[in-house]
């Protein structure tokens, strides 16, 4: 008797849309669950070399919980590519100015650092309020 291994094709991967409410959720635990869904590891047809994950919409990102002294100790760096152009902001400053980038950067740090990981990150949408423009996709609400 011959065993047949079926391989998933990226064109056959059914993409679903999920909404995650970040209110009161811990940042790291939320980001790891979002990364798992973006990669497609929750599906039985997961293949590490294919983009078979789902779309994720995160709402209320300004209400995410951060434990300990991370608001003051975690720094976000960027560089202008000019001499002396290193800029940094604390997590508290980022939460006040750009709360969506805090979740985006936390998820990005948990994704593969490859072309596939960058393609999977394009399926993440993060919004500060409780409204999002993706109602036409009829997303399902996830309780993480």
Domain positions in the chain are 10-66+98-142
pLDDT score for 129: 94
pTM of the full predicted structure?
Answer: 0.91
Q: Per-residue b/e over 8-31, b at no fewer than 16 CB within 10 Å?
A: beeeebeeebbbbbbeebebeebb
pLDDT score for 2: 74
pLDDT digits (tens, 9 = 90+) for 35-73: 999 999 999 889 999 999 999 999 999 999 999 999 999
Q: For the domain made up of 10-66+98-142, give the CATH fold.
A: Ribosomal Protein L13p; Chain: A; (3.90.1180)
Cβ(139)–Cβ(17) under 8 Å? yes
Burial of residue 64, with CB atoms counted within 10 A of its CB: 0-12 exposed, 13-18 middle, 19 or more buried: buried
pLDDT score for 144: 85
Tell me the CB-side half-sphere exposure of residue 57, using CA atoms within 13 A. 19
Q: Which residues of the chain have pLDDT under 50?
A: none
pLDDT score for 12: 67
SS3 45: coil
């Amino acid at each position: 008797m011959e065993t047949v291994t079926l391989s998933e094709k990226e064109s056959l991967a059914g993409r679903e849309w999920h909404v995650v409410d970040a209110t009161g959720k811990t940042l790291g635990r939320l980001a790891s669950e979002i990364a798992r869904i973006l990669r497609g590891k929750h599906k039985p047809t997961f293949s590490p070399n294919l983009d078979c994950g789902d779309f994720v919409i995160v709402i209320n990102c300004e209400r995410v919980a951060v434990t300990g002294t991370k608001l003051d100790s975690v720094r976000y760096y960027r560089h202008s590519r000019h001499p002396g152009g290193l800029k940094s902001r604390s997590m508290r400053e980022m939460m006040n100015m750009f709360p969506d980038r805090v979740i985006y950067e936390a998820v990005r740090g948990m994704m593969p650092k490859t072309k596939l990981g960058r393609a999977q990150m394009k399926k993440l949408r993060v919004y500060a309020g409780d409204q999002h423009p993706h109602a036409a996709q009829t997303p399902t609400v996830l309780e993480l």
